[in-house]
Amino acid sequence: MEAQSLPAALALVAGGGAGLSPEKRAALGVSLPLLQRNYRFERVWFWGCIQGVRGAYYIAEGLRPDRAAPRIRLYSLNCLDWSLLTPATKEMLAQAEQLKGRFQGDPSFEYSFAEINPQAAEKLFEGGKEPIIKEEARLIATIEQIDRAVGIVPRGAFVKTPLGSVHENRHFEGLSLVEAKKLSSYFHFTEPVNLKNKTLLEKANLDPSTDFLDSLEHDIPKGSWSVQLEKGGAVVVLRSLLWLGLTFYHVPMTKQYGYIYFGTGEKNMDLPFML
């Protein structure tokens, strides 16, 4: 969610128990504008917090003019001092999927693959790599997984130019209340997968400038999103049941929207059995 509107946005998602202490809010109010200035970001989003056993990781994302470009992510242990995270690689994502259990809260903590997957550890050892993964690498991969799976935006909030770049839609004035309650009105803000599989007949009714992403209505498993009206019906809130702790909000007929994550960084693998 937007760093500038963070206090108001946190109040809108507080119904799910997500929140920050006054001290952390004050620290973010000081450090995020400095982050934007020092790194020359066009916008800064406060992504959320991954809670570990001995500490928490607070995550921010820096955005460039082209919103389709890879986001630059940073983490902090105290909401004041920020460290850059390297881009996620396929190897990081594959290794992180094998790790189970809580984060420790220490970026230098090392997980041993010999204890988790002896076969994978043996292949790494034969390839001249140490059979370990640092928690910082797991953090990078987990943020990427969450963003790909449940990072969402309202339909029409972004437009794609004929050259392929993606920008904020200046004419977006929010969804109507009727549309805001539909899963089809929200898109995954990542490279589309299902859209490429649509037939020409299905694509005929789509606007290529706004309908260039995958909508939530076809998410698997079906029922992985909870849609609720809060604040007397003034705010539409979507919560992910796949990545518990991800909350998206939108105030209909306004430009106010965003998502934030407050959780342990663990995927809810039991969801198919809960539906």
Q: Give residue-wise pLDDT tens across range 107-146.
A: 989 887 665 656 655 555 555 566 678 899 999 999 999 9
Give CA–CA dist 134/108, Å, rounded: 6
- The three-state secondary structure class of 216 is helix
CA distances from 247 to 12, 140, 252 (A): 10, 20, 16
Pairing, β 56-63 against β 43-51: antiparallel
> Would you list the domain boundaries of the chain?
90-142, 152-259
Give residue for tokens 């983490």: 75
The residue among 162, 213, 150 whose CA lies nearest residue 185 is 213
CA distances from 104 to 53, 201, 222 (A): 5, 50, 32
Q: Is 70 exceeded by the pLDDT of residue 169?
A: yes
DSSP state of 215: B
Handedness of CA 245, 3, 43, 173 (dihedral sign): positive
The structure's pTM equals: 0.87
Beta-carbon contacts of residue 33 (< 8 Å; ≥ 6 apart): 3, 44
* Tokens coding 92: 């990081």
Is the separation of the CB atoms in 71 and 61 below 8 Å? yes
Q: Give residue-wise pLDDT tens across range 75-115.
A: 999 999 999 999 988 888 888 888 888 999 999 898 876 65
Longest CA–CA separation in the chain, Å: 60
Q: Please, which pLDDT band fits residue 14 given cuts at 50, 70 and 90?
A: confident
DSSP state of 86: P
* Tokens coding 199: 């037939």
